[in-house]
Structure 1
Amino acid sequence: MKILPVILSGGAGSRLWPLSRQSAAKQFLALSGDRTMIQDTAARTTGEEFLPPVFICNASHVDLIKDQIDNYGAIIIEPEGRNTGPCAMIAALHGLSLGPDTLVLLAPADHVIDRPEAFLDALRAAAPIAAAGHHVTFGIMPDHAATGFGYIQQGAPLSNGLYEIASFQEKPDEATARDYLASGNYHWNSGIFLLNPSLVIEEMLSLASECSDPARKSYQDAERDGKVIALDPVAFARCKPEPVDIALMERTSKGAVLPCDLGWKDVGSFSAYYELHADGDAPVIKGDGYAHASPNSLIDTDGPLVALVGVENVGVIVRDGRVLVVNLDASQDVKKIVTQLKAENRTDKL
């Protein structure tokens, strides 16, 4: 049994604009250490248990992947973004083409996992359950009542520390999140899955045909040039844009969750970026910056001096002449600026 890492790299990281831009999306940036996030993701899935990683990305990311990843199995090009449901189908088809005993690890390229050995242990525990006929997801054991993540409710126990999935829950309000935390039966949805390709193909064709049928056609009719596979754009455009959580996991009766503590972080906003580097309430400063009496603040500048005085919970980001000033509590709304720039056709700023 081998595990094929399929790394999803289609996102633009719009909530991290202008740090993350079309020419350098967040997964290609070193946000948590010396390596970029996509390099870290690939590095924790190497070894005798793994096949070389496959990347699903848009055309503009192909050269970045080639520059940053030394050994890869394939690069699969999405003609357009259609969410992660079609990606799961494509990943299953490609995994099955490599052998009937292959398992597919579907993982975003932009997550931080501080405990890679615990991640490997989790994969080893989950592999027999996935091989036996379950779609396995990894539930992050919550340490606070987060309202920015979806939750998974665990059901009846299976084996190896895994449970049936009782339900998926959308991002809750604060009171509901506190109830989830107190119950001990709810876990953050990591968006990481270990899948049996044959089972995925069978169930997605049954449960989500509007998403999976065109995805299968786009893979069958793809243009192949060495390790680069360009999905057929006409077929792919017909894919219903659904996340794998809805297309498969919420509809199947064969879902399983493994609660685990991986040191997992989803760096999806500037508040999360601040927390990734925070030491108490001291300001986080990257580049030429000063902060006086400005707790819980963030400076990240590529040149111009930035100084903060007497403010709190503020982020100032400077990249290539673009300046963002944001209340970190509202950092999820940065994508609205990106949407406005797109609407005004100011793509040179993206």
Structure 2
Amino acid sequence: MAQKIVPVIMAGGRGTRLWPLSRASAPKQFIQFVGDRTLFQATLTRVSNPTLYEAPIIVTNEDFRFLVAEQARELGVTLAATLLEPVARNTAAAVAAAAAFVMERSGEDTVLQLLASDHEIAADESYFDAIRIACETALAGKLVTFGIQPTEPATGYGYIEAGGKLPTGAHAVKRFVEKPVLPDAEKMLASGGFYWNSGIFMFTAGQVMREMETFAPDVASAAQDAVREASSDLDFIRLDAKAFAKSPDISIDYAIMEKTGNAAVVPSSFTWSDLGSWDAVWKLGARDEAGNVASGNTTLLDTKNSLVMSRTCHLAVQGLENVAVIASEDAVYVGRLEDSQNVGRIVKRLAAAKATSALTETHPTSYRPWGGYTSVLNGDRFQVKRLFVLPGKKLSLQKHHHRSEHWICVKGTAEVTIGEEVKTVRENESVYIPQGEVHRLANPGKILLEMIEVQTGSYLGEDDIIRIVDEFGRS
């Protein structure tokens, strides 16, 4: 295939369908569920063949920008650009912005592949065969989507009915079908010619923009203006907030795919899942002889066909069948696997109560451009955190008005600035930061630095930080 494809990876979603591991501030694309990589990293790996792909473009938001950069760095992947959406506007605006950006850089004939960052896909020979058919079809002026051969009458996916076959091997799209009820899904499966809508698309930048201008002109103009008025920030490109906010909040399916006469589908047999429920995670996992998928600190006895995952305490599950038991650092979910599509209902209940709303928003582990921290223990006028600082990275030079801090080094070597003094803190050594004192923590070494931080004071919120110098542009 002569022309390379520019991957556009959508990584700004905040879904909580895999609660309690996924939260608004820690969505599933950046979490490791199966294998040794996060879903976002697995997506980067699928588009890493330099003979087939150009460097990827990531579309995400302010909160996830350093997660994107760090997880790409871990893989040694160079990103062509990271576009930051100032407000959430669904996939139509994101696609239009990426297309406008690419057209400015490399022309309207550039082929784009739109990918979600949170899908699990087996990138086998059939997958890359589908990619090549889709590319040829896109170059012929079509807007291509990938239709997955159904393996069951799933009601959690939209469907595509395929029409006549095109010269490239793709098919014209006869119609899109919203998520069906079970009897309708069974009928479609029995009749044949229906495919799951994977949410993977391919088209040239110019063609998708022309379709946007025809069927969703407000989306097109808002995206073009947002790109034209964009600004650079470190390695990120900030889309103009005022322009981008004018875009309607609609999906690419609704904006153009369901309206255009140029839609095509590539029937595909590769393994695909949007990992939209714990049931889907169980189906993809490595099951033992009793049909269980288990990870982390777990012991199972007389338990069958269940998913048991722990990121913290030891889970002992006995005498149950077809259940999901998921433990994060601060919450445990227990439910029937068959009901796991409805986790959103309990998340809404938790979000509505003041005492539990934080469980749906924030995760005990927060990532920063320098590494991150995990909340270990919170009490009245104190809290304990585990800090982890990447090799060569440093926190901002900062001070706090309402708290003092004690740092204990448990792994690696720390360089600590306190006022005018810079000292080295080694494993099993500690240092005290008085309230109001200017200070900084850095990792000058080659391995991960781990510190235990004990904060004491009248106010311990993350907003009690006065940044004086910050290499990440946050001061």
Q: TM-score, normalised by structure 1?
A: 0.95
Aligned partner of 2:220 in structure 1 is 212
Say if 1:161 and 1:259, in contact at 8 Å, map to a contact too.
no
Among 136, 139, 144, the alignment partner of 1:128 is 136
Which structure ranks higher in relative contact order (CA pairs < 8 Å, sequence separation ≥ 6)? 1
**Are 1:323 and 2:345 matched, yes or no?**
no
Alpha carbons 2:11, 2:60 under 8 Å: kept? yes
Report if the CA contact (8 A) 1:85-1:211 is conserved.
yes
* Separation of aligned partners in 1, 2:124 and 2:20: 29
Deviations 1:83-132 (A, max 9, x none): 11111111211222232331110000011111343222211112121012
Residue 59 (1) aligns with residue 67 (2): no
Partners of 1:309 and 1:123 in 2: CA distance? 45
Kindly, what percent of the aligned residue pairs are identical?
A: 38
Question: Does structure 1 conserve the Cα–Cα contact (< 8 Å) formed by 2:290 and 2:303?
Answer: no
State the partner residue of 2:182: 174
Matching residue of 2:358: 348
Q: Which residue of 2 aligns with 1:49?
A: 52
Alignment of 1:24-103 (within 5 A): 24-46=26-48, 47-69=50-72, 70-100=77-107, 101-103=109-111
Alignment partners' CA distance in 2, 1:236 and 1:338: 30
Q: Which moved more, 1:324-333 or 1:217-226?
A: 217-226
Q: Over residues 251-278 of structure 1, what are the superposed CA-to-partner deviations in whole Å (9 max), with x where a residue is unaligned?
A: 1000000001111121111111111115
The alignment status of 1:263 with 2:271, answered yes or no, reads yes
Q: Is the 8 A contact 1:13 1:268 kept in 2?
A: no
Other structure's SS at 1:98 match:
helix
Match of 2:13 in 1: 11
Pick the structure with more helix per residue. 1
What are the Cα deviations for residues 294-326 of structure 1, in whole angstroms up to 9, with x where unaligned?
222111112212222222221111111211112
Q: Which has the larger radius of gyration?
A: 2
Determine the structure 1 residue equivalent to 2:424: none
Shift of 1:226: 5.2
Q: What amino acid sits opposite 1:98 in the alignment?
A: R
Code of the aligned partner of 1:49: L
Amino acid at match of 2:219: C
- The question of whether the paired residues in 1 share the 8 Å contact of 2:303 and 2:318 is answered with yes
Gaps in structure 2 of 5+ consecutive residues: 362-475
Q: Per-residue displacement from partner, 1:157-177 (whole Å, max 9, x unpaired)? A: 112320100000011122211
- Cα pair 2:85 2:239 within 8 Å, conserved: yes
Partner of 2:366: none
Q: Greater strand share, 1 or 2?
A: 2
In structure 2, distance between residues paired with 1:75 and 1:129: 27
Distance 1:216 1:260 in 2: 33
Question: How far is 1:23 from its partner?
Answer: 4.1
**8 A contact 1:44–1:116 mirrored in 2:** no
Report the CA distance between 1:6 and its aligned residue.
0.4
Distance 1:227 1:108 in 2: 21
From 312, 316, 320, the equivalent of 1:303 is 312
Bigger mean CA deviation after superposition, 294-303 or 163-172? 294-303
**Which residue matches 1:21?**
23
Question: Per-residue displacement from partner, 1:53-77 (whole Å, max 9, x unpaired)?
Answer: 0111111111111111131011111
Q: Which moved more, 1:327-336 or 1:252-261?
A: 327-336
Structure 1 gap ranges (5+)? none
**Higher deviation after alignment, 335-344 or 148-157:** 335-344
Alpha-carbon contact 1:82-1:240 (below 8 Å) kept: yes
Say yes or no: does 1:337 pair with 2:339.
Answer: no
RMSD: 1.7
Alpha-carbon displacement from aligned partner over 1:3-59 (angstroms, at most 9, x marks no partner): 110000111231011111244321112212111111111111122221100111111
Alpha carbons of structure 1 residues 237 and 195: separation in structure 2 relative to 1, 3 Å: same
Q: Give the counterpart of 1:203 among 211, 219, 222.
A: 211
Aligned to 2:298: 289
Kindly state the Cα deviation for residue 338 of structure 1 after the two structures are TM-superposed.
3.1
